[in-house]
Amino acid sequence: MALVLLPMSMIFIFLAYKLYNKLRFKLPPGPYPLPIIGNLCAMGAVKSRCFFEWSQVYGPIMSVWFGSNLHIVVSNPELAKQVLKDNDEQLANRYKNWTHSRLSRNGKGLIWADYGPHYSKLRKVCVLELFSTKSLETYRHIREDEVRAMVKSIFKDCTNPCDYGRGLVVKKYVGAVAFNNITRLLFGQRFGNEDGVLNKLGAEFVASLSKKAERGAFFAIVQEIWWLRWVLWPQRIGLAKILADEDQLKRAIMEEHMQGSQGQGEKKHFLAALLSLQEKHDLTQDNIGALLWGMVSAGMDTIAISAEWAMAELIKNPTVQWKAQEELDRVIGLDRTVTEADISNLPYLKCVAKEALRLHPPTPLMLPHRANANVKIGGYDIPKGTAVHVNVWAIGRDPKVWQDPYRFRPERFIETKEHGFGFLPFGAGRRMCPAAQVGTTLVTLMLAHLLHSFAWSSPASPEGLQPKEIDMSESPGLVCYMRIPLIAVPRLRLHQHLYKHML
Ligand code: HEM
């Protein structure tokens, strides 16, 4: 009897709650939610695409139910402005699902923290001390070293007689830059050698990151239904183990730093900077650990994803690749390699990076915000506690903002400089990415080296001489890699001695 009564009463509570909300609040329209699961089962794996399709039916502001949690998705610049500017403060909390809540220890770092004194303290440290223009200069040699190491490694692999003419997995090389850059920037250490072989600490590091990313579709649904979460006890144990391993790793890195046993490691890095600022900003070691650890995930995938998508577009659009190379040859020539100082003289290349971010923002729904008060967006009520997403992926394809939106045409950024809330790869407002400048610089520098040093094409398809079609679909997740990693064939453009003397 209890087995029948329990689900019945759950359905009754859900329907009563929905009715109450319907009468009390004027919510945005959206797909009809089923009891208990809401719209979860109808949702495609790649949410930005699914929400884009739904927005064509229900309009640019939609209600979507993740179980019994209300989420609002906005998909045009005017509504994005209302979220990120007009109601910025009221919508500055973070929505954390069950996994994010656990893995972030309920928002101990910056990324998943709710807006409040703890958040403001960490954000201030980030903006003033870690991502200032001065700091961008201080860590420039790290970016340049790592990008040069990437070129050297591609050169080595593509000139290997066994692999000559074979396609390379681009993600392997851009991912190594992103990983080494972030570990050197944060902890002053490279956790692997020149050939990409990880040391013990590095292997533990990578294992800990990949374990964090492993989750299944069943899990994704169940975690949104609070009264079903008891079935997640194996995952609960798994997450606790991930956090314990992470703590151990953090301690090992901190201890190495304290003992000054970094050998050839950097002297200047974020950990050292934060430890020296502990008193000034009232930071505990716990604060520092949480802040830096969050940045690993925020700053690693986003960089690799941006570079991989940009390369895919450049191979699909050989005229754009050729134009970018023509600019590089004109400004730099073929007798030396690129430096970061050259970027300001490469306006077309900068537009290539922007155009790639427009069509393929690495976090297509940004990171979820949450209302800390009742607000109105687009004339609809957004009750306190609601999760709010800005579909940056959809806005980048809005024909009202972008002419011929599906075409990869970097020139559009030369013709029109201001795109306001139509171009939001880094978000906007008080939760905007604090590393937007670093991110843009590193991605542009990677593209500069990749295009100056090599000409890129698709491997021939197995059927014939035609280049293989590139699959431009996304993998699901908060950050969206290419579903099928890009494979491309590099051809040398410079004299061999320049590759050999890269480092
Ligand atoms: C192309 C590269 C990058 C892109 C496209 C990007 C994009 C974003 C976006 C969309 C957000 C959320 C904004 C919001 O919620 O309103 C964000 C937040 C954040 N990003 Fe980035 N990011 C990039 C690189 C980086 C790097 C390299 C780092 C660190 C080294 C970083 C650190 C952060 C942090 C700490 C936050 C949280 C800010 C907050 O909640 O206040 N990002 N990023």
- CA 398 to ligand 1 center in whole angstroms: 23
- The CATH number given to 2-500 is 1.10.630.10
**pLDDT tens readout for residues 48-102:** 999 999 999 999 999 999 998 999 999 999 999 999 999 999 999 999 988 888 8
Domain ranges (residues) in the chain: 2-500
Lowest mean pLDDT among 130-144, 269-283, 369-383, 455-469: 455-469
- Which of the four pLDDT bands, split at 50, 70 and 90, describes residue 335? very high
Whether 301 contacts 308, CB under 8 Å: no
CA distances to 192, 204, 205, 263, 285 from 250, rounded to whole Å, are 17, 11, 9, 18, 10
- Which of the four pLDDT bands, split at 50, 70 and 90, describes residue 164? confident
Atom of ligand 1 nearest to the CA of 123: 41
Handedness of CA 318, 172, 340, 361 (dihedral sign): positive
User: For position 286, what pLDDT does the model report?
Assistant: 85
Choice from 128, 302, 437 to test ligand 1 binding pocket (greatest atom count within 8 A of CB): 302
Antiparallel, parallel or unpaired: β 387-390 and 69-74: parallel
User: For position 160, what pLDDT does the model report?
Assistant: 85
AA identity, residue 180? N
CA distances to 85, 178, 191, 409, 493 from 327, rounded to whole Å, are 37, 25, 35, 16, 14
pLDDT at 260 over 70: no
- Three-class HEC string of 458-494: CCECCCCCCECCCCCCECCCCCCCECCCCEEEEEECC
Whether 159 contacts 311, CB under 8 Å: no
Q: Ligand 1: residues within 6 Å at CB?
A: 110-111, 123, 294-295, 298-299, 302-303, 306, 362-363, 366-367, 425-427, 431-435, 438-439, 443
**pLDDT tens readout for residues 342-353:** 999 999 999 999
Across residues 4-31, what is the average pLDDT?
A: 78
User: For position 117, what pLDDT does the model report?
Assistant: 94
- CA 101 to ligand 1 center in whole angstroms: 18
Nearest CA to ligand 1 atom 26: 299
- CA 299 to ligand 1 center in whole angstroms: 7
Atom of ligand 1 nearest to the CA of 126: 35
What percent of the chain clears pLDDT 70, i.e. is strictly above it? 92
Lowest mean pLDDT among 159-163, 419-423, 449-453: 159-163
Across residues 200-216, what is the average pLDDT?
A: 72
Choice from 83, 124, 308, 426 to test ligand 1 binding pocket (greatest atom count within 8 A of CB): 426
Q: In the Cβ-directed half-sphere of 193, how many Cα atoms lie within 13 Å?
A: 4
Q: In the Cβ-directed half-sphere of 106, how many Cα atoms lie within 13 Å?
A: 1
Nearest CA to ligand 1 atom 40: 111
Nearest CA to ligand 1 atom 17: 433
**pLDDT tens readout for residues 211-251:** 666 666 667 777 887 777 777 777 788 888 888 888 888 88
User: For position 357, what pLDDT does the model report?
Assistant: 98
Across residues 29-53, what is the average pLDDT?
A: 94
Find out whether 41 is annotated in a ligand binding site: no
User: For position 185, what pLDDT does the model report?
Assistant: 93
- Which of the four pLDDT bands, split at 50, 70 and 90, describes residue 18? low
pLDDT at 24 over 70: yes
Nearest CA to ligand 1 atom 20: 433
Q: What is the pTM of this model?
A: 0.92
**pLDDT tens readout for residues 310-320:** 999 999 999 99
End-to-end CA distance of the chain: 73
Neighbours of 217 (CB within 10 A): 10
Choice from 433, 440, 443 to test ligand 1 binding pocket (greatest atom count within 8 A of CB): 433
What is the maximum alpha-carbon separation in the chain?
82
Nearest CA to ligand 1 atom 6: 426
Atom of ligand 1 nearest to the CA of 367: 15
Across residues 133-156, what is the average pLDDT?
A: 94
User: For position 212, what pLDDT does the model report?
Assistant: 67
Whether 205 contacts 191, CB under 8 Å: yes
